[in-house]
Every structure is written in structure tokens, then in C-alpha cells.
Amino acid sequence: MPKKIVDQSKICADIKPRVEKSRKVGKRTGILNKPIDEAVGTYERANVENIMTGDNNNFVILGRDRPSNPSSGFGGKGGTQAGRIDLIVGMASSFRHKDGSFGPPCSNTIVNPNFAMDASRIYISQKAEIDKYMGIAPTEHVGETVESSAIGLKSDAIRIHARRDIKIVTGRARVENVGKQGERLSGGGQNEVPGSISFIAGNYTEDESVSMVDMLSLGLSKPTVKKLQPLVKGGNLEDCLRDIFGLIKSLAKIAEDKGWKINSINTGVSTSVRTLPTPVPIPIPPSPTFAPVGAVIASQGIAQVPIEQGFMKRVENMENNYLGKKDDKTTGGSVSTSPLHILSKYVYTT
């Protein structure tokens, strides 16, 4: 059960009398966007920071990389090229008070930026470890961002709405006049990888155990599966399914031919008349009814061998093209250089 958010202006000694007096006479009630008194903690300003402060716990801070207190981040370490623009609304909005209530602290409480407690925040930094700052689950294919320019957005809800298109792009921009290596990273390093996109619901990426019935051991097994897995490429999956259906049809034709041959053999055997002299066994000559049928079927069987071998080769090629070989951790157990692989190399989801 979530804790109730309390209007701290009713308990903050520094503004309580003024709030009560103003509201009695109908002043500073905030109606029609007029001024209102509310609890706002005292921001611990760093020496290098220029701050634009509003009257309602809102800040625009120009300074150096600092996710929380003045000693944090690359600004706290004395790093250069670590400029920051910090936009915060509702600083320390979920601060826990001694009475167990949650809400912004009174002005006699020193507060610092905090990704976990600030209501909404846009953090722009020239040099940051943004995954660490925001407490984002690690991904095996990327790892944590280290000493990189970054933008972090944090709020209860974030919406991105385009009336036409949205593109989420990683990798180098397709621009001219930037040299042979193309667009570089913010620090000047070569941008050599396409990058990746991860959709992480719940902020968990640890592997999971799944209970399932194992028919061979006649019991339950608990295999481990990856929580974060590559997305499927729809076009390649469609091609894969069409090829599978084609193989099924080919297999059905092979089975039909086998069935016809079996019926021919059954017919030949059932119509063959054989007599055995007794009690002394003697060699039995080929059946005049069955022998011609058997010869035809034998020749057809020999002709069928390349067809069946070709079928198995098609199955093997399909597996390699669409699924790869099951020996790579990066793509969730399969790897292939084929552009037909059904899994994306760069887009993952939980």
C-alpha cells in the first residue's frame, strides 16, 4: 500500500503561519495560476553552478556533471569536459519525513538532486555514467555506459508522440565531410559499432529459471532462459515459415511416394501364388507376380535417394540461414552471418 503524499506546507513551521493566514483571506491559493505557498527544500548549490529557480520547486541548473551531491559524478572528481544542464521539477518530491509521510521537505532541510526522489528530471551531461546514476539494469551485449555524453529522462510517466513517424536510431549519422571514419563519439573516439536498442520492462535483465516437464527424465526440469532476448525480424521470419511450409509439402510428397511403393509391394505379395513341396524344402524361384513389381520399386528407390539427400541438405541450409548455430551467447544461443537470420543483432527486449 503506497504511502499517502501529504501537503507539507501544513506542517512546515517556516511557512505554516503564512499559509494559514493567506488562505483564510483567499490569497496565495494558487487558483488561476496565481502564487501559492508550498514546501520547498533548500538546494545545496555547488560553487560553479548557475541556477534559475522558480517558485514551485523547479530548477534549471548549469554546472558540471553531478547526479546527486557536490562530490558525485565527474564534477565531484574534478574531471574536465563534464558540463551539465539539469532540469528538475519537484526536487526531493518523495522525501520521507519522520512521521512516515512523503513529500517535499521544508526549507530547513538541505536537498540535492536525486534520480530516485525527484519528480521529473532531464539530465544532460557532457561526460557521465548515466546507467549507474539512474540505476538501470545492465545488458550483456552493451554493459554500462562509462565516461560518455548522455541524456537521462526520469519521471513517473514519459510519452513520446509523433503525429507521423518516430525513429529510434543508433550508430553514426549519415553525414558528409567528417572524414573516412565518419561521425565520431563526443570525446573524439571512433564510433565503430552500430550500437543497440534495449526495451527493458521492470528494469530486470537477469536470467530466469523456467519449470517444465521433461518427458525423458519423467520429472520437472528447470532450464535457464535469458530475460533480455533479441527481437525477431518479421520479414526473415515470414521467409523462414514459407520455406518450412515448402519443406513440409516436399516431405508429404516423399511420404506419398513411399506409401505408393508400400501399396505396390503389398499388392504384389497378396497376389503371389507360392507352393512349397513338403517335407523336403527346396529353393523357391522368384514370384512371377511380385518380381516385376519389386524390380520397378527398387529402381525407383535408387532414383529417390538423391531427392531425399537433397531434402536433408535443404533442411540443414535452412537451419543455418535462419537460425544459425547454437553456440553464441550474444544472440541468445544462435549465431549466423546470414542476413536471413530471424533474430535482430542489435534490438533486444524483455
Q: What is the pLDDT of residues 140-194, one digit of tens each?
A: 877 678 899 999 999 999 999 999 999 999 988 887 777 777 888 888 888 888 8
Give, in order, the Cα–Cα distances in Å from 108 to each of 9, 35, 100, 336, 347. 13, 21, 18, 61, 47
Residues 246 and 185 in one domain: no
* Residue 49 structural domain: 1-195
CA angle 143, 334, 167 (to 5 degrees): 55
**Would you state the pLDDT for residue 118?**
97
C-alpha cell at 305: 535417394
The pTM of the full predicted model, rounded to 2 decimals, is 0.75
Domain boundary among 195, 219, 242: 195
User: Would you say 90 and 104 are in contact if contact means Cβ atoms under 8 Å apart?
Assistant: yes
The structural domain count of the chain equals 2
Q: Does the residue 206 lie in any domain?
A: no
165: region left, alpha or beta (phi > 0 left; psi from -120 to 50 alpha): beta
Is the predicted pLDDT of residue 303 greater than 60, yes or no?
no
Find the helix or strand (DSSP H, E) in which 317 lies. helix 290-318
User: Would you say 331 and 324 are in contact if contact means Cβ atoms under 8 Å apart?
Assistant: yes
> Three-class SS string for 79-110?
CCCCEEEEEEECCCCCCECCCCCECCCCCCCE
- State pLDDT tens for residues 273-285: 555 555 655 555 5
* Alpha-carbon gap, residue 176 to 182, rounded angstroms: 8
- State pLDDT tens for residues 215-248: 666 666 668 888 999 999 999 999 999 999 888 8
Q: Which residues contact 223 (CB under 8 A, 6 or more apart)?
A: 209, 210, 212
Residues 189 and 255 in one domain: no
Domain boundary among 195, 210, 242: 195
Residues 24 and 127 in one domain: yes
Residues 31 and 163 in one domain: yes
Q: Does the residue 241 lie in any domain?
A: yes
- State pLDDT tens for residues 82-100: 999 999 999 999 998 888 8
- Listing DSSP states for 201-253 in one string gives GGG--S-EE--EEETTTTEEE--EE-SSEEEEPHHHHHHHHHHHHHHHHHHHH
* Alpha-carbon gap, residue 164 to 152, rounded angstroms: 24
Sheet-wide strand order for 229-232: 197-199, 343-349, 229-232
* Alpha-carbon gap, residue 193 to 267, rounded angstroms: 66
Domain boundary among 195, 220, 253: 195
